[in-house]
Structure 1
Amino acid sequence: MSTTTAEQDGSPAAPLQAPPDPPLDAELRAERAARARVAAARLAAESVEGVILSWVDNAGLTRVKTVPVRRLEHAAAWGVGAAPCFDVFLVDDSITTSRHIGGPAGDLRLIPDLDRLTRLAAQPGWAWAPADRYAQDGSAHPGCQRRFARRSAAAAALRGIEPLTGIEIEWVVALAGAPGEPPVHPTHGPAYGLHRLVDLSDYLRDLLHALDEQGMAVLQLHPEYTPGQFELSLDPEGPLGAADTTVLARQTIRAVGVRHGLRTSYAPAVEPDAVGNGAHLHLSLWRDGQNLGQGGPGRYGLTGEAESFLAGVLAELPALLALGAPSPASYLRLVPRRWAGAYRCWGLENREAALRLIPGPPGEGPASANAELKCFDAAANPYLLIGAVLAAGLAGLDARRALPAEVPGDPAALPEGEVPRLPASLAAAVAEYQTSGVLREALGDPLYEAVLAVRRGELALFAGHSPAELAAATRWRY
């Protein structure tokens, strides 16, 4: 297995922090403007008229500004204005505040990442790019969630580790109707059944076509458990790329649905007593082309580094739920015996454990081995989720943590208390988040406290709601 210098000499590894991003200076602005000029000409030749600039807020909602394609050059150099108070928007668009971020004053600049600029196949005439957020003087905005994911990936790189990640995308479709109406599903039949594929084959074919046109490599697409529910898996990528791809894929799914008269919901609980929409995070760690989840001396071939990383994630899972299961409605989904990962344990191919180890079929190759975190859902901001999981894992690696005993079967079948449950409410997850020094240090106080303010705001917003009322209030917000 690979070893760090600290492992070789017996001393604990010192935490390694990624350097701060450079500010936008005149040279960088000129470089970006030149690249955008070429990109805008290409898009105009492809009949693109507008460019969507997106970011995901702390409530898990994707927010946007748009520019005409002829303004892309200016936007790439100087950005588009957006208020910092978006960091404390709640899911219903009401606004709270925090110690560092909030209030009506101030402005930020949305700077599109031209490396991810994509012509949208399901929205003719439009292109999309994720945006980084900067202060007016060109310095990095400390509340930028996308920059947090980039910073966490850079911290892994300082340790010689390249993570590959991917988020499973689950969603429910319903016939278009008024927001307050219960969902009317356009297809029924058995879970994972052929009925749904046949009933919506044109919709699903168009979705595959749109994703392919956008250069997105689909691994599989299939009906899921809940009525009207489907799941999409895409090729794993680096942490920032995987978060961007999640945003783009969800946007594409929604756009294809609109063209077929369908509404799309990524809500954790579309209906209060049904299986909800998860966002299972798959993760593998690589060093010099070697998958650290294979070929090691540890359990199931784990290297010491891979085990310590996963142990760090498992240790922080209760606090991570404040980022990965961020809505009060998330806890309508996170219940035992729904494969939601409600127990703080790990196991080989155990779909009831929060951490599922997947060695892959023998002989398939090193790319198949990965770990799956099942307790997260589609209300999560993917940049916060991936960045925080990396931070927790790197803290475990630095501390050389070890995994506890494996739970090989259904933890709900064991005596009560033998396997710890994860928090069963957002309030309990927030309490764990407030005790996490790992997440506070990784996020930095402005982003950490803005997230906390939003969670507290939504706890107050939905206090006293019944499960049915909570599902209805959030069903079409995600």
Structure 2
Amino acid sequence: MPDSSTNREKEAAEALGLLPNARAVDCFFSDLSGVVRGKRYPIDQLDNVLGGGVAFPGSVFLLDTRGESHDPNGRGFSDGDPDCAAIPIPGTLKPVPWAAQPLLQVMLTLQNEDESPYYFEPRNVLRRTIAHFTEMGLTPVVAMELEFYLIDRELDQHEAPQPPISPLTGQRDHGTQVYGMSEVDAYGDILEDISTACDLQGIPTGAISAEYAPGQFEINLHHVPDPLAAADHCVLFKRVVKGVASKHGMRATFMAKPYGEHAGSGLHMHISLVNSDGRNVFDGGAENPASPMLLNAIGGVLDSLPEAMAFLAPNPNSYRRFKPDIFVPIARSWGYENRSVALRIPLGEGHARRIEHRMAGADANPYLTLASALAGIHHGITNKIDPGPKWEGNAGVAYDQGLTFRPRRSLDRLESATVLNKYFGEEYVKTYAACKQREMDRYEGDITPTEYAWYLQAD
């Protein structure tokens, strides 16, 4: 653990002070596909966990969504699957209030034998990207917005999700009112428990709103001047929502498009940059809402967006979210106070000037998604890329032919990347693409019920 023994002891004492009867500690991380993986240790091993860390094979960050290893670029079977040291992240040892037994949890990050960050961990991909801003004396300030669905614990007769039974009416929800307070009231107990659990775990949450479909909500996370922490909060928040939902007899999903007829769930990122004096360099002053640096940052993100699609939409289901005229961006576009564009620039106080990146689905890995956005921002600033004219009106009328809206095409585009490989590392981009291509091989190999219904008698 990178902090001192005194800090470790203090953190352990604080956590055990909140939960003195803790019986175990969950040690976990978020993998390439955003799946939380880890181990549960008895509480009498807490000192060992915090002191020397625990061991995991590095290939755990190269598994597909189902947890299978495909040995991408010789990582897994071919190299003997060596272990790395998994070190607790300071500040993440907290109680788990939704657990059936008294339980603590702590987030992990992997290190090589020389204590350098493990190359293939998504969190360390983000770390490498942040380093480019540190060299410029700039700090990204980041906040995430996550949409999610509460669903019934039982699937329907077609093995598909269905809306939950409303705690208020006792009836299954079939409709909603966006920003409707009655929906927030109906699920007030579970939403309150989510907020309480987030507070206990140090996850800074804000406004809660009902979204565009039955059981769909959004809870905002506060901005922090630490991109790693912002992405950590996103991972922790997903775990909280799923855990609390289960405690209330429901399930929660961050699937991008769980219902074909209802809105998808997005992951929106709010990003600004401050210099060493604490000034927001995106603020153009009284005469102009956008500084030249902000305009260049927008240009860089839009220029790199075709390469980033494989991270912003990592699964076949992710692409079902992209449709015209539903406030999901389908073009490389930007504008002021325009929710149809890919990059929205909210107006208001200049010190809060920021980019709202609206392309990613809620199923995206937060570390890789944020890294792709920051890479685009740095690329635009250093190369002074012109973003083109701002968009007026609806930017979601037609698909942008320069973007890929199929997973195979996005992965093919990523494999020829010329921007993101400079930030992520060429080997990481190549290995990520190989892993997801193999996942697509397995996905496309399954025969679906629709396939039988359409083609079994079509001879």
Normalised by the size of structure 1, how large is the TM-score? 0.84
Q: Tell me the residue number matched to 1:71.
A: 45
Q: Tell me the residue number matched to 2:370.
A: 386
Q: Distance in 2 between matches of 1:293 and 1:444?
A: 27
Q: Distance in 1 between matches of 2:450 and 2:259?
A: 10
* Superposed displacement of residue 390, structure 1: 1.1
SS of structure 2 residue aligned to 1:329: helix
Bigger Cα displacement from structure 2, 233-242 vs 208-217: 208-217
Matched, 1:375 2:349: no
Aligned counterpart for 1:112 among listed residues 88, 94, 105: 88
**Number of residue pairs matched?**
434
Matched, 1:439 2:413: no
Which one scores higher on RCO, CA 8 angstroms, separation ≥ 6? 1
Q: Distance in 2 between matches of 1:282 and 1:94?
A: 33
Matching of residues 419-438 of structure 1 within 5 Å: 420=401, 422-438=403-419
Alignment gaps of 5+ in structure 2:
167-172, 452-459
CA contact (8 A) 2:92 2:201 kept: no
Matching of residues 173-184 of structure 1 within 5 Å: 173-177=150-154, 181-184=159-162
Q: Tell me the residue number matched to 2:176.
A: 190
* Superposed displacement of residue 317, structure 1: 0.8
CA contact (8 A) 2:155 2:162 kept: no
Counterparts in 2 of 1:217 and 1:60: CA distance versus 1, 3 Å: closer
* Superposed displacement of residue 398, structure 1: 0.9
* Amino acid across the alignment from 2:203: M
Q: Deviations over 1:270-306 (max 9, x none)?
A: 12343211111111111222222223488x5222222
Q: Distance in 1 between matches of 2:228 and 2:107?
A: 10
Q: Deviations over 1:305-328 (max 9, x none)?
A: 222122111111111111111111
Q: Distance in 1 between matches of 2:129 and 2:267?
A: 20
Q: Tell me the residue number matched to 1:406.
A: 390
* Superposed displacement of residue 421, structure 1: 5.6
SS of structure 2 residue aligned to 1:344: coil
CA contact (8 A) 1:167 1:282 kept: yes
Counterparts in 2 of 1:107 and 1:248: CA distance versus 1, 3 Å: same
Counterparts in 2 of 1:272 and 1:381: CA distance versus 1, 3 Å: same
SS of structure 2 residue aligned to 1:341: coil
* Superposed displacement of residue 184, structure 1: 2.7
CA contact (8 A) 1:336 1:342 kept: yes
* Superposed displacement of residue 331, structure 1: 0.4
Q: Tell me the residue number matched to 1:285.
A: 273
* Amino acid across the alignment from 1:182: A
Q: Tell me the residue number matched to 1:17.
A: none
SS of structure 2 residue aligned to 1:66: strand
Matching of residues 3-402 of structure 1 within 5 Å: 32-45=4-17, 46-47=19-20, 48-103=22-77, 105-123=81-99, 125-177=102-154, 181-186=159-164, 187=166, 188=173, 189-192=175-178, 193-237=180-224, 238-287=226-275, 288-296=277-285, 300-360=288-348, 365-402=349-386
* Amino acid across the alignment from 1:153: I
Bigger Cα displacement from structure 2, 323-332 vs 142-151: 142-151
Q: Distance in 2 between matches of 1:159 and 1:290?
A: 14
Bigger Cα displacement from structure 2, 121-130 vs 59-68: 121-130
CA contact (8 A) 2:310 2:414 kept: yes
Q: Deviations over 1:325-382 (max 9, x none)?
A: 111111001222121111111111221111111123xxxx344322111110122111
Q: Deviations over 1:59-107 (max 9, x none)?
A: 2212122333432332233221212222221112222122252225211
Q: Deviations over 1:403-443 (max 9, x none)?
A: 11111111344xx68x6563111122212212222211211
Counterparts in 2 of 1:469 and 1:58: CA distance versus 1, 3 Å: farther
Aligned counterpart for 1:459 among listed residues 440, 443, 446: 440
* Amino acid across the alignment from 2:196: H
CA contact (8 A) 1:336 1:352 kept: no
Counterparts in 2 of 1:122 and 1:49: CA distance versus 1, 3 Å: same
Bigger Cα displacement from structure 2, 378-387 vs 176-185: 176-185
Alignment gaps of 5+ in structure 1:
1-23, 471-478
* Amino acid across the alignment from 1:108: C
CA contact (8 A) 1:165 1:242 kept: yes
Counterparts in 2 of 1:212 and 1:412: CA distance versus 1, 3 Å: closer
CA contact (8 A) 1:89 1:454 kept: yes
Q: Distance in 1 between matches of 2:128 and 2:104?
A: 26
* Superposed displacement of residue 384, structure 1: 1.3
Counterparts in 2 of 1:297 and 1:318: CA distance versus 1, 3 Å: farther
Aligned CA RMSD, in angstroms, stands at: 2.5
SS of structure 1 residue aligned to 2:374: helix
Percent identical among aligned pairs is 25
